[in-house]
Amino acid sequence: MERVFDVEDSPETSPKPKKKKAEAKVKPKECIDLTADSPSSSSKPPEEEDDPKLSLISWNVDGLDTDNIVQRARGLCSYLVLYTPDVVFLQELIPPYVQYLKKRAVSYMIIEGGEDGYFVGMMLKKSRVKLLESEIVPYPSTQMMRNLLVAQVIFKAHKLCLMTSHFESCKGHAVERMKQLRGLMQRMGEAADDLTVLFGGDTNLRDTEVAKVGLSSAVCDVWERLGRQEHCRYTWDTKANSNKAVPYVSRCRFDRIYFRPASREGVPRLAPDHMALVGLDKLECGRYTSDHWGIYCSFSVG
């Protein structure tokens, strides 16, 4: 995998015209390169830096699928340039993928939820979000290396507690997945009342499982809060997304955003105001950035 990602950064070593021509066909016409720390690629215009809204993207990037992975990682970077989110929650990262992002997305701080295998991570826009501390909370009974990544940050006048996770996968692991949801709801509910708590991740949850566990009283599902809009319901959709060649149609809302506002008197409030799916366009390699659609969400001052 290290070699796969190193190909893009290595200088041209062979002068053979045929090889260069073949490589030119593989590379997209617009190669998004975030290594140059310039206003056009790594920071928002002044008016956007003053934008009081908080924006985030949550996305399972499917780093375990190594086919066209460089093109797909570049695809993720293109969405970072397009949306310039303040916070990015990522799942199914692998170490080479993280190293690629560190080279390209220089305007972001990257927090990793692990070192080996695959894991979750966060990206924080350096000019907009200040990290105070972070921790990795293990799931004691996981069989799939899953955990919860938590970060305390400051966004303008707002104290935020950010959380991301990748819950246990597959239908047969519903019991463990619901246990992980209960733990998440407990942590979100118990957070200090001057904190706004935001969770985004690949929960693998089915609606029946959420109904059995229930959400904490102060926690809302952002998709539901914004009116259950059909166009951004399914984040796992084998009917529309062809990255996984499966002989069946599966449409699920695996990826979710949960929100718990600060409740203390006098503390600035955030409220969700927009949600959309990202990654719906095919890359030039003929595949999508991931087998999941990503979620873009913004929050305004309430």
Could you give the residue numbers annotated as active site? 202
Sequence-distant (6+) residues with CB within 8 A of 198 are: 56, 87, 160, 161, 162, 163, 257, 258, 259, 299
Strands 196-202 and 158-166: parallel
DSSP secondary structure string for all residues of 44-106:
--HHHHT---EEEEEEE--TT--TTHHHHHHHHHHHHHHH--SEEEEEEE-HHHHHHHHHH-T
Please report, for residues 11, 22, 28, 154, the alpha-carbon distance to residue 15 in angstroms, rounded to integers and kept in the order given.
11, 12, 21, 51
Which amino acid is residue 219, in one-letter code? V
169 secondary structure, DSSP code: P
Cα separation, 166 vs 101, whole angstroms: 19
Sequence-distant (6+) residues with CB within 8 A of 248 are: 238
Question: Which residue is associated with the tokens 């890359």?
Answer: 283
| CA nearest neighbour of 258 among 215, 229, 204 | 215
Give the tokens for residue 59.
């996305």
Strands 147-155 and 108-112: unpaired
Give the tokens for residue 47.
């008016």
| CA nearest neighbour of 89 among 129, 53, 117 | 129
